Homo-oligomer: A and B are copies of this chain.
């Protein structure tokens, strides 16, 4: 069995969620991932199902007794808690940006102005929707006193506003 020294973000997120829930099955973790971290990190159910046995093999989580439908509850071990804490303050990975819209616009030489408009219109809608959702979440976080989740919300809001402003300014920028 391979034993990589460091956690990747996906493994770490799994441990972090498990930390929060104390004990959880793969399905419960998947739901927690969706509600808690999906705005800034995506994990699929399948990944979690695959992760848990691997983490167990590395001694970072332990499996409890099989429950209904063969579902297995997992919990953090001391080693898992330690690995998570180490990851949390570790050297930040350089993120490779990945913006399909920008990729397309970088090839903008190949489309006419009306095509650009259509493309931008679709994105504007999507970003407006996300902005609205994040602002609603921010209110909820404020009320719940969840300061750390609040600032991640704030980040999302600022990001969406930045994108919307950029989309707004694009025609002007292109002709200047």
Contacts and interface: CB of A to CB of B under 8 A. Distances in A.
Quick one: copies of this chain in the complex? 2
Nearest to A95: B100
A174 interface: yes
Contacts of A150: 173
Contact of A173 (B41, B89, B119, B151): B151
Interface residues of A, number: 62
Contacts of A93: 100
Contacts of A149: 106
Given A93-B100, A100-B93, A37 B154 contact: no
Contacts of A110: 16, 19, 84-85, 88
Given A13-B103, A88-B111, A151-B173, 18 more contacts: A40-B97, A41-B99, A41-B102, A42-B96, A84-B110, A88-B104, A89-B118, A92-B101, A92-B126, A94-B126, A102-B152, A105-B152, A106-B148, A106-B149, A108-B148, A148-B174, A151-B170, A159-B162
